Each structure stands twice: as structure tokens, then as C-alpha cells.
Amino acid sequence: MIKENLKRILEELPEGVDLVAAAKTRTPDEVLEAIDAGLRIIGENYVQEAEKAFEAVGAKVRWHMIGHLQSNKAKKAVKIFDVIETVDSMKLARAIDKACQNMGKVMQVLIEVNSGEEPQKAGVMPEDGISLVRDMSELKNIKIMGLMTMGPFAGDPEDARPYFQKTRKLFEEIKTLNLPGVEMKHLSMGMSNSYRVALEEGANMVRIGTRLFGERVY
């Protein structure tokens, strides 16, 4: 089933679009089945779950952190992840930078944008995005590679469109600044129900769970 789902999704994605499999709650066997079928990037929400999955799967795929990361978990996170998609503060950025320095690693990160401007949610407010990028670009062991957004929860994927547009606009704005060490390459937006709309709005990285692995049972 996972194999067929993956094949269908990959056939649908335009060239140059990366699929990140949102693997929360999935067993290592499910993840391995998808890898056998050609999956190349795993997205994890929790460091502890990622450690378990990494133990079973190893470094033959790329690992993306897509959940909120607490600064005190940065040290563990930088051991596993190739990309941290959810950096939204200097506090977290500094913790990642320091942990990477100790390891001699440069971490690729995306800035998470709170495109719905919901106070209780993670992500930098869109109007603060540029100043965060400027400040973060000073850190030597971090490389900013793009933006990520969730958008407010919406039943109708069309409702997500304005938030994807807002994030895209910021992405292009940062790109034109040509900041040293900042590469606006990845725009990570869209999940199972919204990735088609996200692609129309310029996403080149989509994070898909349910549509690949099936409904989550909690």
C-alpha cells in the first residue's frame, strides 16, 4: 500500500519538488517500506522518535526536523538531522549553532514562518522574518536554505492559499536581498490535503504523511 501511494505521489510531483515523508507515529518498518520504494527524505516531529527511527534506518536517507525544536534538544537534534525546517528564534538558532560548532558541522535550516499570525503557534511572524534571517546569517555553523510554513489548520485547502502566498512573497523578498551565506532554495509548504495548492503557490518541498502512510491511529 505504501509503495503504491509513494509511486502515485512521486508521479504527480513536478520535477525539482522534494517529497518529505512526515513519519510521526509510523513504525520503522513502515518507514523502511517507503525507503525501499524510493523515498529519500524522512521528516520527524520529535527528537526522541527520530533517534529510534534513525537507529533502525541509518544515514542512507536524509532526515528533516519538521516539528518544533526546543533549544535544550539542539545537541541531540544536530546529530541526526540534515535539515532543521523549524527554526523560528535566535535562541534556537544559537543553540543549534553552538551544538554544530562542537561537532564541526554546518546545519542547513529553514525558517518557520507563522503565516497565519496565530499567537499560540510556532514560527516567526512574517514581518519579523527578514530581521531574523539577517541576525541568523551571522552564525557560522548554520546555513539558511529557505522557508517553511504550516499555515492555520484548514479543512478546505483553498483556505490555505493566502498563507502560502504570503510565505512565497517573503521567500522572494529575502532572495532579492542577496544576503551572504543565505540561499533561498527550499520553500517547504503543503501537506496531504493542501500540497496541490501549495505547489501552485510555488512550494518546491512538500511534507506528506497521511496520503503516503495512511490515516494515523493515535
Ligand X SMILES: *Cc1c(COP(=O)(O)O)cnc(C)c1O
Residues that bind ligand X (CB under 6 A): 22, 24, 45, 66-67, 150, 191-192, 207-211
The CA distances from residue 38 to 49, 61, 146, 199, in Å, are: 22, 10, 24, 21
Q: What is the nearest approach in angstroms of ligand X to the Cβ of residue 178?
A: 29
Tell which residue, 53, 58, 56, has the closest CA to residue 43: 53
Q: What is the nearest approach in angstroms of ligand X to the Cβ of residue 40?
A: 16
Task: Considering the complex, state which of residue 9 and residue 74 has its C-beta at the smaller distance from ligand X.
Answer: 9
Instruction: State the residue number with the nearest CB to ligand X.
Output: 209
20 touches 66 (CB < 8 A): yes
Q: What is the nearest approach in angstroms of ligand X to the Cβ of residue 97?
A: 23
Q: What is the nearest approach in angstroms of ligand X to the Cβ of residue 136?
A: 20
CA 112 to chain centre: 8
DSSP string computed for 103-160:
HT--EEEEEEE-TT--TTS-SB-GGGHHHHHHHHTT-TTEEEEEEEE--S--SSGGGG
Task: Considering the complex, state which of residue 26 and residue 168 has its C-beta at the smaller distance from ligand X.
Answer: 26
Task: Considering the complex, state which of residue 141 and residue 201 has its C-beta at the smaller distance from ligand X.
Answer: 201
Q: What is the nearest approach in angstroms of ligand X to the Cβ of residue 191?
A: 4
172 touches 127 (CB < 8 A): no
- CA angle (135 as vertex; 131, 139 as ends), nearest 5: 155
Task: Considering the complex, state which of residue 22 and residue 84 has its C-beta at the smaller distance from ligand X.
Answer: 22
**Identity of the residue numbered 26:** R
Task: Considering the complex, state which of residue 170 and residue 191 has its C-beta at the smaller distance from ligand X.
Answer: 191
